[in-house]
Structure 1
Amino acid sequence: MTRANPFRTRHSEAASRNLGLFTATFAPEVLHALPAPPFDQFYVLRSAPGAGKTSLMKCLTAPTLNYIHQRRSKTAHLVSFLTDFGVLDVNGPLVIGVLENLDQNYAGLVDVAEDSDLQKRLLFKLLDARVIQGLIRACLEFAGRAPDEDPDLVQFRPRTPDATRAFMRLGGTSGSDLIAAAEAAEDELLDLFDQIIATSGEMPTGHGRLHSLTALSATGIEVAGAPVSASTLIMFDDAHALAESQRTALLGELRSRAHTVGRWMATRNVALDDDELFGAGDEGRDFDVIELEALARDRTSSAAALHRLTGQTLTPTRFRKVLLDIADKRASPALDRMLTDDTSLTNLLGVEPDSALEFASEDPFARVRSRIADKVGDDPRYAVWLAETVQLDGRDGLARLSEIDVLIERDRTRAQQELFDVPLPADQLVSRGSSSLREAAYMRTAINCGIPYYVGAETYARLGSANIEQFLEVCGDLMARLQTQDVTGRELALTPSIQDKIARDASRNYYRSLTQLPHGNYIQRFVDGVARISKEEAAKPRIPYPPGVTGTALLMSDRAKLREPSSRELPEMAALYCGLKSAIAHNVVWIELNYRVKNADYMVIYLNRLLCPTFDMPLGLGAFRERKLIQMAGWMVEPPRRAGETADPRQGTLL
């Protein structure tokens, strides 16, 4: 009987109901994306779907922290990390986190009231009711009690007149009074959904502000007479589920500097406006934006700007370790049933560097040596260099030999050939070469000779492109292969050949799935355009841009032109704009603004790493080749496909 694939099950939903499962599979290192406590300001967490926003916030809720604290011996790793992070100590949690999902009836309030001001007031009233109920339950759990115990055990002690007035508007300062008022308000608002037509006279008046934030910004909390020393953190998840007017209203309220209670809002990139998607938002004035994927992926000029918050230390290397840790935790129960020893998925991905060469379709050393011989013959200029290649073997040796092949090509095509007959010394190999050129040269040889290239745990972590859901989807392909081997009685092994095939298959499937996104055809055409650039550059014998081209760039002035409505009157410009906007929102590409090169400023556009195997691209950050706006717009124009035709993801042409 085939067991369920642990990467294919609805793990996030199961974990939301089962704290044991959540704490067993949560990688706390992802908290490095957050600022250090105290959380007394407003932050926006944003990313494409699947980057881990909800799990990150769930870790800081009162039930989760209390569960970990009560099971310190079983959750020692989490306890240690959360203690160092500053949200837990020997006495218990130091934060009372309340998580409210905004995908719960809120958007429907727009339909029950026509007046925009009333819509906002109804939204704030329902939010106040649910925040207060959530906080009272959280306070009880913080104190080690059941969340449905007597709410009167919770008492609030406002410290300012504003906080006192806010509590009175919410129903009082005792837990029982607040719960009663909140439940009545929630029932009143939810009853509106059952009415076919609601008249203005029947409408609740709503709240002009979020009174809960005003109240909690200056109050003490007691549970059963004992003061609560932990700070309060109010977190709103799935803000993209709100109507745009509601999201704007909530953002305006949360960013108010009058509030000092910690408050976060998480949203997907699809909810961002054009300015935010194209990198011109106003974060940093009244709030900071934490872009999870931007923090966790390889990047260039934006590194310093991204780590502007105290305690925010997530790096690409650290995040890739987080991904592998998550994969090992998720795969562990399934592997325990299939294997007799304690082997992790990461261990199964481990390969000896030289083992991939065993799967070559031809002798790669012979091929490269033959190519070099055809170029130089017995030319004495390269005698010393060629002497260095005699004893080369293995993966590193093949990379070195391939690099020498490129360096000879570069030397032979130089414009100035002074003293051509003078032998080149060995130290010139070091000064002219580089690790990136060596890797690019090896990759070219590997592709030409059928050597598996996309192998190893680090490679698979890079394929995740800083998105946990995307990474776990690829891990699901690995697990499916292992399960097939298990039921057919074969050795449980992920050879270099198998790993390379799985990576390429996953890449092609992802490429084909792009058409399912909004403006997906335009996204795919944009990707095809970048792929053509990459293919052209990779075909050049001198490999001018090692380790390879994985992106393109627009002049910042062209970027500004693209964003002008008048420019988008041209169909191809409108198509490029819509395709690029959707690609950014869904993590198909990411952008770097104001990248300085050739005395000009560019918006650099890199492809999602999962697309790279389809086009034989390297998985590192890679180089980019700029294109003019009119050229990119031209990518959007292609003949209509006939029925049954699909794009060839390797060539960007029709099949």
Structure 2
Amino acid sequence: TVDGNTKVLRPLVIFDDAHNLHPEQFTAFREWLARRELKISRWVLTRMDALSPEDVLLAQSEGNTTRPGLKDARELNVIWMQSQDDRFGKRKAFRKMAKGMATRYLRQMDVFSRRGISDLADFIGTQPDMISPSKLETLAGSIDTIQQKNGISDKRRKTLEAQISEYLSGTGHESKDVALAILSILFHRYLNRVPQKGLFDDQEDDVEPNRPLTVDGGIADGAKVRLLHDFDRPYYYNIDALCDASSENAEQFLHLASTLVTQAETQLIREKPASLSSRDQNRLLRKKAGEIYRGWDFPHNREVKLLAEGIAKQCVAKSLEGNASLGGGAGAGAFGILQEEFDQIPKKYEELARVLKFGAAYNAFVLVQNHSTKNRMWCQIELCGVLRVHFGLSQTRGGFLERKTDDLLSLLKQN
């Protein structure tokens, strides 16, 4: 009785760090709790390590199985900290949460508080550094070569340049290097959409493509990824890029943010401005992402690295194709396996299932299951933000390469 009011309470027992149990112990423990009929609430917290590959890989698939006498849907209420629901909303919410977390940490650091700096945005620049004039000249020359070699008329070029200028002016970030990179993509798309010219055809004829060419955010993002690889133009900068590279993981965010904060702190101690250019941010974040990737030290980390590197290399190759065909232009960041084929992995390929389980448990992969594309259901094995930064891939989600289980197995066999 509290203040004259009677409240009925139900006991709650919480078992933390259940992953410290042996897998067989964990299974027996969970089944014992599920069979109990005492009116006591039971909450078990564990990392994915303690779960079986079937529990992790088939968690959100119709192929998930239950143990004899128990129905997981009836006995258990599973709360995944790595949820697939409303991923756009979660990314947006994480950005807000991460900015608040960074502000609280910065206020505790004297070197920043003395100068009135309490926000990462106070010293993280948002203006991109363009490529050097010599590189810009090289880029322009390569586009002139594409035009002359394929007989693209000056009229067509001017039309495309007008579209690009209109789009970039609408974004408020006009940049000559990005404009040229977009033009290169549009040239390749144009050539794919017009009949090939004959040897004696008039090269000045302007042929209409079978589908209209448009400029959007996907193509612009794909152009920036190409500039990153070809000319080392900064791509990973500003607070949103930092948050997205963290894959909605607070610990990962702090690791990545720390490298920027440390650099800004060093500059302040040396009586220099704290501000970090986009080039500095890009360099520091890519370096830190590489350190995190190379420093993985969890079960089957070698196999996870093999799988991650194999997926990343093929995604990079696809993203750098001339016409930037995938993901609206931004490129690929995942392998897609047909859902019914993916559901068979725990039953047929134990080693691959373990690798995928630990990859998902330690935030190397995100398994996006039951994703509908081309009237079929897919499971995307999506690279995390740190891997995308390390290998130079877009943070835009959605683009994936269609693959089979055998493709995953072949990557694991590489030395």
Give the TM-score of the pair, scaled to structure 1. Answer: 0.53
Closer, same or farther: CA 223–248 of 1 in aligned 2, 3 Å: farther
**Aligned 1:321-360 pairs, distance under 5 A:** 321-334=96-109, 336-353=110-127, 355-357=128-130, 360=131
1:549 corresponds, among 329, 332, 343, to 332
- Closer, same or farther: CA 582–245 of 1 in aligned 2, 3 Å: closer
- Taking a change above 3 Å as real, the CA distance of residues 348 and 255 of structure 1, as seen in their structure-2 partners, is farther
1:274 aligns with 2:53: yes
| TM-superposed deviation, 1:263 | 4.3
SS of 1:285's partner is helix
1:527 CA displacement: 0.8
Structure with larger Rg: 1
SS at match of 1:477: helix
Residue in structure 2 matched with residue 630 of structure 1 by the alignment: 406
Q: Percent identity?
A: 22
* Counterparts of residues 491-570 of structure 1 (less than 5 Å): 491-514=273-296, 516-545=297-326, 546-564=329-347, 567-568=348-349
Larger RCO, structure (CA 8 Å, separation 6 or more): 2
Residue segments in structure 1 that go unaligned for 5+ positions in a row: 1-221, 300-313, 569-573, 640-655
5+ residue gaps, structure 2, are 67-71
**Corresponding position: 1:402 with 2:181:** yes
Task: Tell me, yes or no, if the aligned pair for 1:552 and 1:626 is still in contact at 8 Å.
Answer: yes
**1:549 Cα deviation from its structure 2 partner:** 1.1
Once residues 439 and 446 of structure 1 are traced to their aligned partners in structure 2, the CA distance between those partners, rounded to angstroms, is: 11
Check conservation: 1:240, 1:268, Cα contact below 8 A. yes
8 Å CA contact 1:295, 1:316 repeated in 2: no
Asked whether the 8 Å contact 1:295–1:315 carries over to 2, the reply is no
Post-superposition shift, 1:318?
Answer: 0.7
Tell me which of 355, 362, 366 is aligned to 1:586: 362
Q: Report the CA distance between 1:243 and its aligned residue.
A: 4.2
Output the CA distance in 2 between the equivalents of 1:404 and 1:229.
69
Offset of 1:297 from its aligned partner?
8.2
**Aligned positions, number:** 389
Corresponding residue number in structure 2 for 1:436: 218
- Report the AA paired with residue 373 of structure 1: D
Q: Give the match for residue 247 of structure 1.
A: 26
Instruction: Provide the C-alpha distance between the structure 1 equivalents of 2:30 and 2:24, rounded to a whole number of angstroms.
Output: 10
Q: What is the match of residue 316 of structure 1? A: 91
Q: 1:595-606 residue pairs with structure 2 within 5 A? A: 595-606=371-382
Letter in 2 for 1:540: E
Match of 2:383 in 1: 607
Taking structure 1 as reference, are residues 417 and 382 closer, same or farther at Cα in structure 2, changes over 3 Å only?
A: farther
> Whole-Å Cα distance in 2 between the matches of residues 348 and 535 of structure 1?
33
CA separation in 1, counterparts of 2:266 and 2:32?
A: 53
What is residue 230 of structure 2 aligned with on the other side?
448
Structure in which a larger fraction of residues adopt strand? 1
Structure 2: which amino acid aligns with 1:533?
Q
* Mapped pair 1:489 → 2:271: yes
Partner-residue secondary structure (3-state), 2:75: coil
TM-score normalised by L of structure 2: 0.81
Aligned Cα RMSD in Å?
A: 3.3
* TM-fit CA distance, 1:342: 2.8
Distance of 1:232 and 1:320 partners within structure 2: 36
| 2: CA distance, partners of 1:328 / 1:504 | 23
**8 Å contact 2:224–2:235 — kept in the other structure?**
no
How far 1:602 sits from its partner (Å)? 2.5
1:316 and 1:259 mapped to 2: Cα distance?
A: 40
Aligned counterpart, 2:69: none
Distance 1:488 1:343, change over 3 A: closer
Cα 1:462–1:267 change in 2 (3 A) is same
SS of residue paired to 1:526: helix
Shift of 1:423: 6.6
